[in-house]
Amino acid sequence: MALERTFSIIKPDATARNLTGKVIAKLEDAGLRVVAQKRVKWSKADAEKFYAVHSARPFYNDLVAFMTSGPIVLQVLEGENAIAKNREVMGATDPAKADSGTIRKEFAENIERNSVHGSDSAENAAAEIALCFRLEEIVG
């Protein structure tokens, strides 16, 4: 077990339905601590940069349009095995395949409008945190 930090986004479908607090409660109930948080609206350039790894995927343009369609909440989460724990509480990418009790099972609308993002590796967590937060904005 190791104390880790991961990067999380509450996506526009969730902010639009006023689910920010409910998503955060799920994260906190799973033992994750919000150590940085800000509500922003991404430009097209912001979303394209963040999702550059998916630029060859057929859903990339739609994903960028979705992620710029409304406010999002950027977070740094801290906890024991935070990266895996967050992926667990998020549930599968497609809410139809997500386990009961997960954020995506309870709140996601579909495979694209799936309410949350979470880093999938330690390397990506560090890169995503560095892209979106200054060190002094993270208070553990």
> What is the binding site for ligand ATP (CB under 6 A)?
54, 59, 63, 93, 111-112, 114, 117-118, 120
User: How near is the Cβ of 93 to ligand ATP at its closest, in Å?
Assistant: 3
User: How near is the Cβ of 111 to ligand ATP at its closest, in Å?
Assistant: 5
The 3 state secondary structure assigned to 86-136 is HHHHHCCCCHHHCCCCCHHHHHCCCCCCCCEEECCCHHHHHHHHHHHCCHH
Instruction: List, as own/partner pairs, every contact residues 91-94 make where C-beta atoms lie below 8 angstroms and the sequence separation is at least 24, other chains included.
Output: none
**117 catalytic, yes or no?**
yes
Residues 100-139 that bind Mg ion (CB under 5 A): 120
> 59 or 80, CB closer to Mg ion?
59
